[in-house]
Chain A
Amino acid sequence: MNILVILRMVPDAAGELLLTGDGLGIDREWLDFQLNDFDDHALEDAILLKEATGAKVTVIAIGEGTNRILQMAAARGADEVIALPCEEDELLSSRDLAATVVDLARARSADLVVCGVQSSEDLFGQLAPYVGAMLDWPHISGTNRIEASGGGLHVTQERGAGVSVTYEVVLPAVLGVQTATKAPRYVSGSKLREASKTPIGRGERQASSFTLSASIEGLRIPEETGSAQQLGEDAENVAERIVAILESNGIGRR
């Protein structure tokens, strides 16, 4: 089985985000870039499948800081790692990236493409269903378990409210991973050092294959609605006020 994993480096949105002067992007200069969380899980599922079936895993990465991430992927067991070029300040749109992934999947005779279910920059749609529809391959997003079964896969998808559905999937297929079958593994420093020698291939980007697209007219930081009544930052004081609030609402201690 040939597995293609797509990794995207996205800005760490945990801190404060500032907008660029033209209001059309976020100021990336001081932001850290990190691997899209869900892609980390996609990588883990690919490596688990490799361990179960002897599949070949090719990892493609895009965004700022890909070399480090590709070395990490090699240390975790990827057979081949490839970096895609990316414009500085580029919002990584899955809609644009899909044509490149489709091209790579064909060129490398992939049986399975795996990526994270979504990224924080997926304003114009998600990668797995785009690639699935463009290749006319089956695709499932929101997976939390993938197992090889016969020549295909058994894939479990979360449907919400505690309901999950397991599907039999015929390959070739595309999966958008939500949570890996097992938590992403830790790689030791020595493995990482060894993997730093792994040659990193360079891929090419294809132009988007879509004719019409939506466009961003402007970005804004949402106004804080300020609905919360602030109780302060001193824990003792806050605790006292919470107890009073609960009691006055008839929900005190039990």
Chain B
Amino acid sequence: MKIYACTEGRSGQVDAVSLEMIAAARSLARDGDDVIAFFAGSAAADAAGKFGTADRLVAAIAPEADIVVAGTYARQLCDVIAAEGAGIVVVPYSANGLDVASSVAARLDWPLVSYVEKIARDGQSLSVVAQLYGGKVLADCSVPLPAVLMVNPGAFAEATATPLSPDRIDTIDIAELVAASRVRPISIDLPDFSDVDLKAAERIVCVGRGIGDEASIDLARDLAALLGAEIAGSRPVVDNGWLPKLRQVGKSGQKVKPKLYMALGVSGAPEHLEGMGQSDMIIAVNTDPKAPIFNVAHYGATCDLFELMSSLSERLQPSDT
């Protein structure tokens, strides 16, 4: 059986989540199966050393296309599968993957399970554990093959980035397909980290929606200053305009790994955990004892975050002496 791992990257770089997808695909392979990494972009050759333990790489290349839009990616992948056959396709839960997974499932009329955390292969079907309701419920699913799985980042450890020899790389020219697309990238905005680079911060105080309003962010800023920490926010805080986008931690924000991560009024949705779950020390403050943030935190407190900020700031004030 052929098992496809969807990989992603730009400018000769392969995103870490690609190696996780290869590991997921590899975990499902039996003797005689082929794990095939699929890549669409402009510079897979530069990145060929990074496709981990895949048996082969199918690189769909359009020299000018640093970003290949999801519709084109999905279409080309379906063409490859139609030509070669496949039993399983694993797609990362990413901006691109969100579009690719359902698109491939619809085009091939295959089952799809999203937000997958665990997969076990069982003859001609899969047993899959996936998240529902933002991770508050787990679903045990039975999935007939062939099937598409959209896998949560972090569910599988990255495969080792071993180089692939050139004879195991198939290149397809998709320049025409890219040109025919009715979606065309016209600009890419890259972050300017000169103001703040959360990835480099050793200490972070992150506020979630529990902070309530914009004015209260100042209290958290004062606490962060006392700790020598950067202030950060969850998505709703940034969406509300209370903090700039570069200070968002999570799936569509920054992935951080500070020595200290203090989460105040953050519930711990999977998309948030994706950005901070690897922090050395996580202290979470949330009035809801069932908040999922406590599952990754090292220390947790169920007190009111405002009372905590005030008590903590008082204790951290520099003494006069």
Question: Footprint of B on A, CB under 8 Å?
Answer: 11, 13-14, 16-17, 19, 26, 94-95, 98, 117-118, 120-130, 132-134, 137-142, 154, 156-170, 173, 176, 178-179, 183, 210-222, 224-236, 238-243, 245-246, 249, 251-254
With A158-B252, A160-B94, A160-B251 already in contact, the answer to whether A224 and B294 are too (CB < 8 A) is: yes
Whether A235 pairs with B311 at a CB distance below 8 angstroms is yes
Contacting pair B295 A227 (CB below 8 A): yes
Other A-B contacts than A132-B71, A165-B189, A212-B111, 19 sampled, CB-CB below 8 A, are: A11-B133, A16-B290, A95-B102, A121-B133, A124-B111, A125-B106, A125-B114, A128-B102, A132-B103, A138-B71, A158-B95, A165-B188, A167-B185, A212-B110, A214-B144, A215-B141, A217-B141, A220-B138, A221-B137
Instruction: Chain A residues near B71: list those with CB within 8 A.
Output: 132, 138-139
Are A176 and B98 in contact, with the CB atoms below 8 A?
yes
Most chain A CB atoms below 10 A, which of B96, B105, B310: B105
Binds A, one of B30-38, B159-167, B170-178, B281-289: B281-289
Q: How far is the CA of A169 from the CA of B181 in the complex (A)?
A: 9
B113 within 8 A of A: yes
Q: Is the CB of B114 within 8 A of A215?
A: no
> Quick check: A140 and B69 within 8 Å, CB to CB?
yes
A159 and B181 in contact, given A129-B103, A130-B106, A133-B103 (Cβ under 8 angstroms): no
Sorted from nearest, which 6 A-B pairs have the closest CB atoms?
A254-B228, A162-B191, A235-B307, A228-B300, A239-B311, A129-B102
The one of A19, A173, A217 that contacts B142, using a Cβ cutoff of 8 Å: A217
B183 at the interface (CB under 8 A from A): yes
Contact, CB under 8 Å: A98 / B98? no
Give B residues with C-beta under 8 Å from A: 67, 69-71, 74, 94-96, 98-103, 105-107, 109-115, 127-128, 130, 132-144, 147, 150, 181-191, 202-203, 226-228, 239-241, 245-246, 251-255, 259-260, 267, 281, 283-285, 290, 292, 294-304, 307-308, 310-312, 314-316, 318
Closest A residue by C-beta to B280: A249
Tell me which residues across on chain A come within 8 A of B140, comparing CB atoms.
216-220
Q: Is the CB–CB distance between A142 and B95 below 8 Å?
A: yes
Can you name the residue of chain A whose Cβ is closest to the Cβ of B100? A129
Chain A's closest residue to B101 (CB) is A125
Cβ of A169: which chain B residues have Cβ within 8 Å of it?
A: 182-183
In the bound complex, what is the Cα–Cα distance between A122 and B97 (angstroms)? 14
Q: What's the Cα separation between A225 and B318 when bound, in Å?
A: 37
Cβ–Cβ < 8 Å partners of B130 in chain A: 123
Question: Which of B140, B182, B304 counts the most A-chain CB atoms under 10 A from its CB?
Answer: B182
Instruction: Please tell me which one of the listed residues B111, B227, B301 contacts residue A213 in the complex, with CB atoms under 8 A apart.
Output: B111
Task: Output the least CB separation between B129 and chain A (Å).
Answer: 9
A224 touching B290, Cβ below 8 Å: yes
Can you show 30 pairs from A to B with CB atoms below 8 A apart?
Answer: A14-B267, A118-B114, A120-B134, A122-B114, A123-B141, A125-B112, A129-B98, A129-B102, A141-B98, A159-B95, A162-B246, A162-B253, A165-B187, A166-B189, A167-B185, A210-B106, A217-B140, A222-B137, A222-B295, A225-B295, A227-B298, A228-B284, A230-B301, A231-B300, A231-B301, A232-B301, A233-B303, A238-B303, A240-B311, A240-B315
